[in-house]
Amino acid sequence: MVDEEDGAELSPNLATFLTKRFGTLTSDKKLKSKLELYKRPADCKVLTAPLTNKEIWRTPKTPAKRTYVKLTNVQKNMAKATIAMAKCADELALRADYKDKLTSLTDAMTLLGHTHKSIINLRQELMRYALPYDFAICDATTEASDTLLYGDDLRQNLKDAKERKRLTASPQVQQDNKYRWPSHTSGPFLGRGGRGRANLSARPFAPRYKMPKQH
């Protein structure tokens, strides 16, 4: 990756402060005190990390949840940083002599907003690999609400996701899926003996779906 082009220098004190803050982690105690300073505005509920719908959250195993929680906490911290910028911008907007200084702040919030949405998509993508098919069908096209990762109406969103998948599947894939053998028949074709040699004395499994006749 090519290094970024340098711009004008900052004041020495600010440059030192940023170098320290971006080079080391803040202690948990100090981080908590900073986060508590910035409450989400009542008229801007999107400034938070949406929770995972409870129907989905209880499905993945613990290891997957640990990684997922860490990413969600990063998103929460980013939302708090945006709130701090928004408060500053709101105060400066009231002063005519500072209005031309707002561009940098609004640019920063635009970049943070883009990152916020990207993290939502990433959370959905990561969660998809730990979910059963009925829930994994949800993808980055599933719109999150202000408070829930998969929207307020999960049932409808699942239905919409299945319909999108059906419409985007190629005709050949749709035909293959129509005559696919059920998953419980995987393994030995003729018997119930599990993996290894088939038990030929056992009764063959009957297919759940009627296979097309050969012409």
- The pLDDT value recorded for residue 207 is 44
User: Is there a domain that residue 9 lies in?
Assistant: no
- Tell me which residue of 142, 103, 96, 87 sits closest to 120, measured CA to CA: 142
Domain identity same for 155 and 63: yes
Q: What is the pLDDT of residue 134?
A: 61
60 and 164 fall within a common domain:
yes
Do 98 and 158 fall within a single domain?
yes
pLDDT in tens, the chain (215 residues): 567 889 999 999 999 999 999 999 999 999 999 999 999 999 999 999 998 888 778 777 777 788 889 999 999 999 999 999 999 999 888 887 787 778 889 999 999 999 999 998 888 888 777 766 666 556 555 667 778 887 777 777 777 767 766 766 655 544 555 444 444 444 444 444 444 444 434 444 444 444 344 33
Are residue 82 and residue 155 in the same domain, yes or no?
A: yes
Distance CA 1, CA 157 (A): 38
Tokens 């299945």: give the residue: 162
Shared-domain flag, residues 121 and 173 = no
Residues 159 and 181 in one domain: no
Q: Can you tell me which residue has the tokens 């707002």? A: 102
Determine the number of helices (DSSP H) and then strands (DSSP E) in the chain. Answer: 8, 0
Q: Are residues 155 and 215 in the same domain?
A: no
Q: Where are the alpha helices (DSSP H) in the chain?
A: 12-23, 28-37, 54-57, 62-92, 102-128, 133-136, 154-168, 171-178
Report the distance separating Cα 38 and Cα 180, nearest Å: 54
- Same domain (yes/no): 151, 179: no
- What is the model's pLDDT at position 23? 95
Q: 204: domain range?
A: 169-215
Q: How many domains, the chain?
A: 2
Q: Is residue 11 part of a domain?
A: no
The pTM of the full predicted model, rounded to 2 decimals, is 0.65
